[in-house]
Amino acid sequence: MAQKKQTTMNKPITRFMKHLHLVGLFVLIAYQQVSAQSTMDLRQCIQYGLTNNAQIQQSQLVVARTNEQRNETRAAYLPQLDGSVSLTNNLQLQTSILPGEIIGQPGEEVAVQFGTKYNVMAGVDASQVLYSQSLIYGMKIAEKSSTISAISAKKTEEQVIYDIASAFYAAQVSFTQQAIIASNIAQVDTLIRLTTIQFDNGFAKQIDLDRLTVNRTNLQTDFDNSNQAYQQQLMMLKYYMGMPLDTQLELPLIDSEANAVKLTDPEALNQTDLSLLQAQQDLYSMQLKQIKAGYIPTLSLAFHSGIQIQQNDLRIFGKDADWFPNSYVSLNLSIPIFDGLARNSRVKQMTFQLKESELSEQYLLQGLTMQRTNALSKLQINQAALENQRRNIELSRKVYEVTQAQYTGGLVTLTELVNAETALKESQTNYLQSLVQVKLAELELIKTTGTYTSLN
């Protein structure tokens, strides 16, 4: 008779268990619907960050500044034109001592003052560098500095992309775990209500309810911890994106069936790092040539044209104002002879710096090669672990389905069914963790190869 009651009681339980997973599905759908309006995927987060990240904006300002410095250097080889106007009031004219023979007083010295009280001059000065090897290299250095700042800006963008992607994956897995735990809580709540009915009818024990309650408490703790981790990771993601921290942002649930990121060239090395170092080497080489060019004479042309008037009464615009023109043109050759060996010391310093840069390039190539090899190995290991977790999910699902059938037939207790359900959810969580590890390994490989276009 008890067996018949158990079978009768299990019929609604069977129908309930068939739809138990739908509860979790509805919870996941609800999570997505609530955040649909403010959900951003990885590409959207990256694009937002490339526009709003403060480091990127700062690097763009550096590029603009170095471009203007380049223009400033070019200006040194263009004609220079200056105008000047001066008004001098000789409060007390300078006195000169002349021999008296000049004025018919031989043997005496005569004090004489020359000039007028007011002296007004106006003129234009023009100059043009005709040849300066040092200036020529200076313009090349400014051009290379502009190139370096552009490469550095690109490197900053790549680092921001990496930081955003890392924070995105970490936050996304916490959000997905949160949704899974919420699904588990909903299922356990339903089981508690059902077991309470069974207990009231004498078909369940108090220990079953106690175990479910403990399970429910543990799940709530896991949910709170996951939510806290998600909020912290979401805050970090906003920081990397340059988004106001009080802005509402939600992420999509992680796609467990998502394909791996397609790398354009997994055997490549990060060209940005190499390009930056090579550009710096070119800069050092040009600076060395510029220092050596200091031994070469420079040739310049100068021109002056002006007018001058001298009066004791300041009437420069009067009819009797006599303005006298003056002008000259000069060709100037500057020949360096001896500077106390200062230039020779600078040549040696720059030679050492250039050799240091060449060694840095070798070290960088070795480091990038090592990082790429390690990243590929890490990716392969994590992909294998992911496949193992995928099989583990299938096995856990089969165990759960068998346990569910046995529970329907009254062969196992409710606690065993809950344990099977928990094992299934744990395998799902482990799979998500493995999936994130694969994503992070892909990200490390992208960083070492410089293939950031595969992300955005």
Q: State the CB neighbour count (10 A cutoff) for residue 17.
A: 22
Final residue in a domain of this structure, among 335, 357, 387: 335
* pLDDT value of residue 236: 97
Final residue in a domain of this structure, among 314, 335, 356: 335
Shared domain check, 278 and 176: yes
Q: What is the CATH number of the domain that holds 379?
A: 1.20.1600.10
Shared domain check, 311 and 378: no
Furthest-apart CA pair in the chain: how many Å?
Answer: 160
Shared domain check, 348 and 247: yes
Q: Which amino acid is at 221?
A: T
| Cα 249 from Cα 253, distance rounded (Å) | 13
Shared domain check, 224 and 115: no
pTM for the predicted model, two decimal places: 0.78
- Which two structure tokens, joined as six digits, stand for 132? 């300066």
Shared domain check, 404 and 288: yes
Q: State the CB neighbour count (10 A cutoff) for residue 381.
A: 13
* Number of structural domains the chain divides into: 2
> Angle CA(207)–CA(212)–CA(218) in degrees, nearest 5?
125
- pLDDT tens for each residue of the chain, 456 residues long: 444 444 444 444 444 344 444 444 444 444 444 444 468 999 999 999 999 999 999 999 999 999 999 999 999 999 999 999 999 999 988 888 888 878 777 878 888 888 889 999 999 999 999 999 999 999 999 999 999 999 999 999 999 999 999 999 999 988 988 988 898 898 789 888 888 887 888 877 888 888 889 989 999 999 999 999 999 999 999 999 999 999 999 998 877 655 555 555 556 677 898 999 999 999 999 999 999 999 999 999 999 999 999 988 888 887 778 899 999 999 999 999 999 999 999 999 999 999 999 999 999 999 989 988 999 999 999 999 999 999 999 999 899 889 878 876 778 887 788 788 889 888 988 988 898 899 889 999 888 888 887 776
* pLDDT value of residue 165: 94
Shared domain check, 198 and 122: no
* pLDDT value of residue 261: 55
* pLDDT value of residue 41: 92
Shared domain check, 315 and 168: no
Shared domain check, 199 and 59: yes
Shared domain check, 315 and 413: no
User: Residue 211 in 3-state DSSP?
Assistant: helix
CB 300 within 8 A of CB 128: yes
* pLDDT value of residue 256: 60
- Residue 178: which H helix or E strand, with range? helix 133-200
Say how many Å lie between the first and final Cα of the chain, rounded: 67
| Cα 407 from Cα 234, distance rounded (Å) | 41
* Domain around 320: 81-130+297-335
Shared domain check, 362 and 237: yes
CB 281 within 8 A of CB 139: no
Shared domain check, 93 and 204: no
* pLDDT value of residue 125: 98
* pLDDT value of residue 10: 43
* pLDDT value of residue 286: 96
Shared domain check, 106 and 20: no
Q: What is the CATH number of the domain that holds 318?
A: 2.20.200
* pLDDT value of residue 94: 87
